[in-house]
Structure 1
Amino acid sequence: MGQAPVVYGQSDRPPRGDYARAREDYTCEQNWQAYSAQDHDTYHRLYQRQSAQLPGLASQAFIDALPLLGAKECIPRFDDINQRLRRATGWEIVTVPGLIPEVPFFQLLANRKFPVTDWIRKPEEFDYIVEPDVFHDLFGHVPLLFNPVFADYVQRYGEGGLKAARLGACEQLSRLYWYTIEFGLIREGGALRAYGAGILSSAGELPYSVRSPQPQRLPLELLRTMRTRYKIDSYQQTYFIIDSFQQLFDLTEQDFTPLYQALQGQPEFAAGASMPDAAGTTNP
């Protein structure tokens, strides 16, 4: 779940959302008055459930930034969040009706604008939803945009995405988005914690990603990550770990053109594929 570009072609039904109200760049106005009491209640219950799980599982940077979303008893007004977000990192959130094509998505990120879907899931979708809704986007993604280093990484990703689109490498780059911004893990104080939005907004995957012995967890390495397919309909079988947001930013400071060239003709890794390490053993 999330705005990762390659996800767009993997749904078996058209995207949800009223695209007739979107501008040429796919943004629109948040119609806050249109939310029903049930919509606000759904958001509040989701917020309560997820925030209660965060201690010991989520990145402290995320926990510290979460209150900056503001209202938690109802769906926040995006304009209110933007007043704080612009002051903190120069970012803003913009409303979109749902999933958008990859190039407009990259353009928004490159201009420090994060697209947030404004509709919310139905009560019967409380535990699982295929596409990102306003809870996933706000709760999962926006808090870390208040972190200057992570916010710079997301902008750099958008700039890199525009280049990848020109080079025909969006699929490879989308895997980096998936395994960092959506499903990334980080070591903080020697402990494993989640920072990816897809994990942080999921009641089941948050404890699974950090504590379960089932998935493999590998240090983030760009070529390995961009060769690894991922799951959109189940918990991840592989997670990639960083030691800091600065490390993540520094990894993406280089020109990716040689990486895309190195990936040509290389076989992909299945989502749960293990790979021998230097000692000849298998991870994990």
Structure 2
Amino acid sequence: MKSPVVAADVAPEPVVYGQSDRPPRGDYSRATADYTCPQNYAAYTPADHETYRKLYERQAALLPGLACDEFIRDLPLLGVKDRIPRFEEVNERLHKATGWEIVAVPGLIPEVPFFSLLAARKFPVTDWIRKPEEFDYIVEPDVFHDLFGHVPLLFNPIFADHMQEYGKGGLKAHRLDACELLSRLYWYTIEFGLIRQSDGLRAYGAGILSSGGELQHSVRSPEPQRLPLDIERVMRTRYKIDSYQQTYFVIDSFQELFDKTAPDFTPIYQRVKSLPELAAGA
């Protein structure tokens, strides 16, 4: 998809990725031209903090035997569990560990601002939190998904470097009209990737790790297919954002993920564009 051009005096517009019937949400009037905004911490209600606490408690209890070792090790570095963390508090530890920081955004943002932030080692975190009635499932990423699901692995040096290189590659993909292909790689690795450890299959994708149901489904259910990570296969495969995945791609280490995404994707984009797309679960 094409990224909109955002003028300095025009409020950024929300965007939608993947296939969904629901419109995006978030107060984009708060955002600057690069889609970042201050974390409006005072706007969180006691109910918001309680929702975060309950989500954290539920997901943390599900992690043993399902989440990868690196994620479980670094999760405590988020800090507080009983309230929504202040981003500046997380950044004190994160920047010291890998040179990354988190920045607030009102919701989903277009490719170019997203890639630009990643390339600068800045991870965009949606600052609103889901409603109690959305406790078990939410389509758009909220502050819990982004913080709990994504940020712990940014404390891992190899994964953190991979994320920055993904951002740089995204800016190149935009110039080559290949953002949709690269977004599929993000979806099937960073959001819904699996990793094979010595003691079995585990999840490392943020969309899995922040989901009460998909964590068990992705690792233990016999229903989905699980394939070795193949870049061209991933880029040919469409995805849906409002249901459990039917296909997962598996790596053996974060070094493998870094190495497989290091080469120039230009010839891969050219080949994939000449091939038919594959439906999610094909």
User: What is the TM-score of this pair, normalised by structure 2?
Assistant: 0.93
The amino acid across from 1:230 in the alignment is Y
Deviation at 1:263, TM superposition (A): 0.9
Cα distance change on mapping 1:243 and 1:9 into 2, 3 Å:
closer
Contact 1:6–1:174 (8 Å) recurs in 2: no
The secondary structure found in structure 1 opposite 2:53 is helix
CA deviation map 1:129-162 (0-9, x unaligned): 1110000000000000000000111111111110
Deviation at 1:7, TM superposition (A): 4.6
CA deviation map 1:51-94 (0-9, x unaligned): 00000000010000000000110000000000000000000000
What is the aligned partner in structure 2 of residue 51 from structure 1?
60
Deviation at 1:209, TM superposition (A): 0.3
Q: What does 1:104-253 correspond to in 2, within 5 Å?
A: 104-253=113-262
The secondary structure found in structure 2 opposite 1:127 is coil
Q: What does 1:258-273 correspond to in 2, within 5 Å?
A: 258-273=267-282
Runs ≥4 in structure 1, deviation > 2 angstroms? 5-15
Cα distance change on mapping 1:145 and 1:260 into 2, 3 Å:
same
Aligned residue-pair number: 269
Structure 1 residue runs without a partner (length 5+)? 274-284
What is the aligned partner in structure 2 of residue 27 from structure 1?
36
Partner of residue 40 from structure 1, selected from 45, 49, 58? 49
CA deviation map 1:196-243 (0-9, x unaligned): 000000000001100000000000010011111112121100000000
Cα distance in structure 2, aligned partners of 1:135 and 1:225? 27
The secondary structure found in structure 2 opposite 1:193 is strand
What is the aligned partner in structure 2 of residue 62 from structure 1?
71
Cα distance in structure 1, aligned partners of 2:18 and 2:277? 19
Cα distance change on mapping 1:262 and 1:234 into 2, 3 Å:
same
Q: CA RMSD in A?
A: 1.3
Partner of residue 79 from structure 1, selected from 84, 88, 110? 88
Q: Percent identity?
A: 76
